Amino acid sequence: MLVDEVKKELSWQARDAAIEEIAARLGVRAERGRRFAELTSLRVGGAIDWLISPVTEEQAAAVVYELEQADIAWRALGSGSNVLADDAVHHYVVVSLKELKGEARFDGERVSVSAGYSLPRLCIDAGRRGLAGIEGLGGIPGTVGGALWMNAGAYGHEIGNVTEIVRVARGGRVVEVPGSEVKWDYRHTSFREGELLLGATLLLRPDDPEKIGARMLEAKNKRLATQPHGARSAGCFFKNPPGSEVGTGKMIDEMGMKGERRGGASVSPVHANFIVTEGEDAKASDALALAEEIRERIKREKGIELEYEVELWRAESPEEKSSESSESDIRQAAEAQDKQGSSDSLDSPDSPDL
């Protein structure tokens, strides 16, 4: 038993040394001791073993390639506005894209941006230049990479509709993938787990900046009227059921669950599909317990299996998936999410909640 413990410790040390060496060789910042509670909009979640922050697309492609060559698990994190990470220590490397922002490069009706560029910022930049097509996305807090990953959308606009090229990390290089080769579904895309998105070129259309500005303002006002403002949330927690005329938020509201609380997490009284957290003691397990209760009640009372829109991140690295975990409830929920993710409908409606 003791021998196993020593072996495990030695293998962690070797892994840490390999991560340090890769970061130093590629000139990338690598930090220890960060927490998901500081890096996600729900402000909950445990410690991160290593956080690596590349600043160029080439560097990011090289980082993930080297990690993969060394058999070290990693995950991409943008602004953390769609992630619920559990409370334990996360032993994979988190590759943060927040520093990979550079400048938005406009060329006629096209704009090229890196994955870490702020989506709201991009919508403002484009609108001011009289370029339309993404003004409905202006209120989605997050990076362009996060939006591409899950085909973020609101008010009739989805990022996939205007994406001409996505730059993806493959074999240590930046590879261009035509947007037409990607399957852009409702809050889901055909990008594979473990694929790092580095940036994109969007093709927009010319319009009067004043008209675009007016549409952005309209979208913003709708949001302010229907969603909690300034609260710690991850946006809509669940997708709307395919084909359903009633949005998930309305269903949860009809069950009288607005204001329902578990520890530091509660169902927003403003929008029932938003789970919000409050206070220093709020835990990921509070939010997940509440979310699971909502799913169970909807299943029992309406016969509908809700699918998570928020990404649930387990503390285990992918290679540790089969090991024991004290967070078994989170693991089960994440597994349920994985299964459902693969059965996403092609023609699911845009959120009727928005």
Ligand X SMILES: Cc1cc2nc3c(=O)[nH]c(=O)nc-3n(C[C@H](O)[C@H](O)[C@H](O)COP(=O)(O)OP(=O)(O)OC[C@H]3O[C@@H](n4cnc5c(N)ncnc54)[C@H](O)[C@@H]3O)c2cc1C
Among 19, 52, 61, 83, binds ligand X (CB under 6 A): 83
Helix (H, G, I), strand (E, B) or coil at 271: coil
Please name the residue that has the structure tokens 């997940």: 288
Considering only residues 181 to 200 of the shown chain, the ones binding ligand X according to CB under 6 A are 187, 196-197
Our CB check for ligand X shows the closer of 144 and 294 to be 144
Residue 153 found at the interface with ligand X (CB under 6 A)? yes
Angle at 188 between CA 185 and CA 190, to 5 degrees: 85
Residue 314 CB-density burial (10 A; 0-12 exposed, 13-18 middle, 19+ buried): buried
What is the C-alpha separation between 163 and 165, in angstroms, rounded? 6
Least gap, CB of 187 to ligand X (angstroms): 6
Considering only the C-alpha atoms of the chain, give the largest distance between any 2 of them, rounded to a whole number of Å.
Answer: 70
CB nearer to ligand X: pick between 132 and 197: 197
Instruction: Write the CA distances from 84 to 136, 233, 263, 303, integer angstroms.
Output: 25, 10, 16, 25
Window of 78-86, 239-247, 250-258, 315-323 that interacts with ligand X by CB under 6 A:
78-86
Q: How many chain residues interact with ligand X (CB under 6 A)?
A: 32
Closer Cβ to ligand X, 80 or 127, answer by number? 80
* Cross-strand bridge partners of residue 189: 184
Rounded to the nearest whole angstrom, what is the least distance from the CB of residue 13 to ligand X in the complex?
27
Asked if residue 154 binds ligand X (CB under 6 A), the reply is yes
Residue 323 CB neighbour total at 10 angstroms: 8
- Residue 133 touches ligand X, criterion: CB under 6 A: no
Distances (CA, A) of 74 to 27, 164, 315: 18, 27, 12
Candidates 120-128, 146-154, 258-266, 293-301: pick the segment binding ligand X (CB under 6 A): 146-154
Which stretches does DSSP call E strand in 89-137?
Answer: 90-96, 105-107, 110-114, 131-132
Q: Which stretch binds ligand X (CB under 6 A): 127-135, 171-179, 227-235, 286-294?
A: 227-235
Please identify which residue in 115, 212, 251, 267 interacts with ligand X, judged by CB under 6 A. 115
Q: How far apart are CA 328 and CA 312, in angstroms?
A: 13
When the beta carbons of 75 and 283 are compared against ligand X, the nearer one is: 75
Q: Mask 32-61, x = binds ligand X (CB under 6 A)?
A: ---------x--------------------
Please tell me the distance from the alpha carbon of residue 270 to that of residue 306, in angstroms, as a whole number: 20
146: contact with ligand X by CB under 6 A:
yes
Residue 295 interacting with ligand X (CB under 6 A): no
Judged by the rule CB under 6 A, the positions of this chain that interact with ligand X are: 41, 75-83, 97, 115, 140-143, 145-147, 149-150, 152-154, 187, 196-197, 233-235, 311, 354
